[in-house]
Amino acid sequence: MCNANVHPAHPHPGAVAALSDADIRKYLAKGEIRIDPFQEENLTPNGYDVTIAEVAVPSRDLVVEHDKAVVPPQTRFAVSTLEVVECGPGVAAELWLRTSWARRGVLASFGMIDSGFRGTLTLAALNGAHEELVLPIGERFAQVVFLALTSASEKGYGRRSGHYQDQRGVQLR
């Protein structure tokens, strides 16, 4: 259990810290992060829940952008977020599958959102269940946990690699 009386913003000098809901609002106001569209109800105590805009099922050559997608059992799929996310030079982020999807048999391993990244997110996953998985468009799918870096990046994502900079929709390559 967390001790509510202990509240170090940075427990160790130079440590990377996850942003709280209050911090996220401050960083949004200063333009250090961007979430567009931003919905207050998707803000969590220490992150932001991103929603499904598009679902692709490559083995079925299927892309769904309206209503809901149905993913067969034991099938790989990818989700694109509605939200455009941007991390400034002093911010990176982790992506976490919402546990409500894990409880339904979704298996996923996501990476980091690099400092300087801007675009929608493509999140690859597997329906590990023996039943079809229904993915409603607009449903919350993953949580973004923003991290304050110990110092600003020298070269952000756009200058280091930038392959997916400004991406929209599911990008599988």
Is there a domain that residue 66 lies in? yes
Is there a domain that residue 12 lies in? no
pLDDT, one tens digit per residue, over 131-149 is 999 999 999 999 999 999 9
Give how many domains the chain has, as a whole number. 1
Is there a domain that residue 162 lies in? no
Is there a domain that residue 172 lies in? no
Check which CATH number belongs to the domain holding 125 and give it: 2.70.40.10
Quick check: pTM over 0.85? Answer: yes
Is there a domain that residue 55 lies in? yes
pLDDT, one tens digit per residue, over 34-66 is 999 999 999 999 999 999 999 999 999 999 999
Is there a domain that residue 118 lies in? yes
Question: Domain limits at 121?
Answer: 17-150
Instruction: Please give the share of the chain, as a percent, with pLDDT higher than 70.
Output: 86
pLDDT, one tens digit per residue, over 114-131 is 999 999 999 999 999 999
Rounded Cα gap, residues 113 and 61, in angstroms = 27
Pair 48, 87: CB distance under 8 Å: no
